[in-house]
Each structure stands twice: as structure tokens, then as C-alpha cells.
A and B are shown apart, each in its own frame.
Chain A
Amino acid sequence: MKLIITDIENFSIPVEGEYKVISPKGDIRCCIGCFGCWVKTPGRCVLLDGYQDTGIEMGKCTELILVSRCYYGSVSPFVKMVQDRAISYIHPDFVMRKGEMHHKRRYQNVITLSSHLYGENITEDEKETARALLQANADNYDGVVKSVSFYPSVEQLEDIVL
């Protein structure tokens, strides 16, 4: 299953195969740093606003696709809030990976990550940061990067198939 996290409200990009889309529907609460998703309700965020199960969905997916406006080399606040609320995908304990401390797996699926970032005037520095950021996400999820693509406007996304 492909899991798509996007800040596009009326998401209509064609997707091949089975997929699920998480897009802005009602207000999202930001992560409050309580770690309840690790030590209170393991696997699920304690904030019940409709976005609490992203970690579980990540445990079922083969691909994670971020479709977002680029903010300074990061994904958008909405997409980032969804990601912040989904750290339950990983286990709180640490392991060493590539000589650095990372979190242990909770699930056995290996996620292939890609990001499709749109926006006017995305600078070379921002592109470099965005590429490194997705690689860092892959290292932390113990997954692999498929691609990072940039588009000068949201309309340009109409021509792609995910």
C-alpha cells in the first residue's frame, strides 16, 4: 500500500495500485512532545483528532510519498505535523545505524520514501536540504529513498502519476 501525506486539500493526482491519502481535513493538533504514543497508548498518538493513526498506517505501507509545498527545504507545516505525530512507527529504544544512534523498528516493513515538493523559487540550498532530509527520514525509519522531485508550481503535479 502507498501512503501519501499531502498538504493539498483536494488531492487528485493519479496513483497506481492500492493507496491511502492523509490530507488536511479539519484542524490538526501539533505534537505536544508527551511520548504518550510510546509509553501510554503504544503505536497510537494520544491526541484524538483524526490524525492519531498515521504511525499504524506507516506500519502497513510499502511506500511513503510526501507531496508538499517546500518550506525552506522542509515539507510544509501540515505534512510535518502529520510526520511529527507518527513517531510511533518506530520503537523508543535505540540502535546504532551507520555509526549513529537511531530508533529500533516496531514494524518489519521496509518503507521506500519519495517526496514531491512544489513551490516558486525553491533555491539550490533548499533542494540540497530537502534531499538530505528525506535521506535522514529513511535512516530513522530504516527505509530507503526512491526519489526527491521539485516542481515550480502545484499545477505541475497534475502531469505526474504516483
Chain B
Amino acid sequence: MKIALINGSPKGKNSASHTLLEDVKEYLGQRADVATYLCNTPVISQENIEKLVQADAWVFAYPLYVDGIPGHLLSCLSLLEQARIQKPQICVYGIVNCGFYEGEQADLALKILQNWCKKTGFAWGGGIGVGGGGGLDMMPKMESGKGPKAPIEKSMEELANAILKKKTRDNEYVSVAMPRFLYQMGAQMGWRQQIRANGGKVRDLRRKGS
């Protein structure tokens, strides 16, 4: 079975989308022929389209941007629609990570991909909305079932098993294993560290552009 993992983050390998796809890849292990693709610009090459057509399943991972799919990835999806690929057996899965705590906020970004499947004729396999995605790429890999990423890793494992069986599932939502207030506190400390590192002051965070 050939599986295409498609990273739709503009940040490429330095992204939560990459981290999540690496988890899926690890769980797929040797049971499939896995190839990774990057969709970080509004254009997808003809060469990559031809390679994608050979796959049995496409797994898109992308960040939630303004409640939906990032503009550049939307452009790639449109180009894939225009390519008129006649392979309804290709099963499409979606993983959306969002900076908000609640994975449910990724719901519409999954629905848009689902609507795209209906338009293009591909099979929709289901998606996962991942909450608390802000720090995922910085979280260390821990022993299985341990640490704040544990529930997310478990859902990636379940997704990997569903992909191998070409199973269709309902969309699911998951979040980091930490209280919401702690996640919020961590994120807000991060913004303050970053603005200071850039030579600014904390009060600059609320500056109005002019």
C-alpha cells in the first residue's frame, strides 16, 4: 500500500504538522510504502501530482489558519481539482492542528477538505482536529502513553491503523494532556519571551499598527 503524507504547513519540517505526520509515519512502520510531500507554497508541481496519483491514501496535515485551511494549501487543493485525477479509490485523511486548546475548533478546516473530496471524487476517510498544537513541535518524545502529547500520539496511532485498513471514520478531536489554564499560561509566556528576544517590550504586544 502506498501512502502519501502531505505537509501543508508553510514552516515545513519546523512545524506541528511535520511532528504529527512523523508520528503517523512511525505507527505505519514497515507496513506501507510511505512518501512525504511538502505543500508550503500556492503551487504544487506536476511532478508531485504525478507521484501523488500513484498513492492509495493521502494524509494532509496542516495548521488552522483563521478558522480554515491556509490560503496556499487551498490553492494547491484547487490545482489538484483542476488536474482532474480520476481515482475515486484514493482515500483522503486530514489532520488539523490548532493553537487553541480545543481540537473541535479545527472542525471547519476538516469540513472544507471533506467538501473538496466530494468535488474531486476522492473518498473521505476522516480527520482529526488537534488542539493545543502551539507547542507540539517543541515537546520532547516520551515513553509511549506518557507526557502531554500522549492522547495525540494515541489518536495518530489509531489513524495509522485506519489508513492501513482504508477505513472511514468520523472526525475526531483531541487535545494536549494538560489543563487549559496551563496551556494558556505557557503560550502567553512564550509570546513575552519572543517579543523580548526581538528587542521589544511586553507592552509592545498590544501595540496598534499605524
Contact = CB atoms under 8 A, between A and B. Distances in A.
Interface in A52-97: 53, 55-56, 59, 71-84, 87-88, 91-94
A102 interface: yes
A42 B207 contact: yes
Contacts of B210: 43, 56
Given A55-B209, A56-B210, A137-B67, A100 B187 contact: no
B72 A107 contact: no
Given A43-B209, A94-B184, A74 B69 contact: yes
A101 B108 contact: no
Chain B interface helix/strand/loop/mixed: helix
7 contacts: A56-B209, A56-B210, A80-B74, A84-B65, A91-B206, A92-B187, A92-B188
B177 interface: no
Q: Which 10 A-B pairs have the closest CB atoms?
A: A43-B209, A81-B71, A80-B71, A77-B75, A30-B72, A136-B67, A72-B115, A39-B194, A56-B209, A42-B207
Interface stretch (B49-57, B150-158, B159-167, B197-205): B197-205
B173 to A, nearest CB: 12
Interface of B: 9-11, 15, 41-42, 63, 65-72, 74-75, 77-78, 100-102, 104-105, 108, 111-116, 118-119, 180, 184, 187-188, 191, 194-195, 198, 200, 204-210
Contact of A106 (B71, B200, B208): B208
A84 B72 CA distance: 10
A71 B74 contact: yes
A55 B209 CA distance: 8
Contacts of A140: 66-67
Contacts of B101: 101
A83 B118 CA distance: 25
Nearest to A76: B74
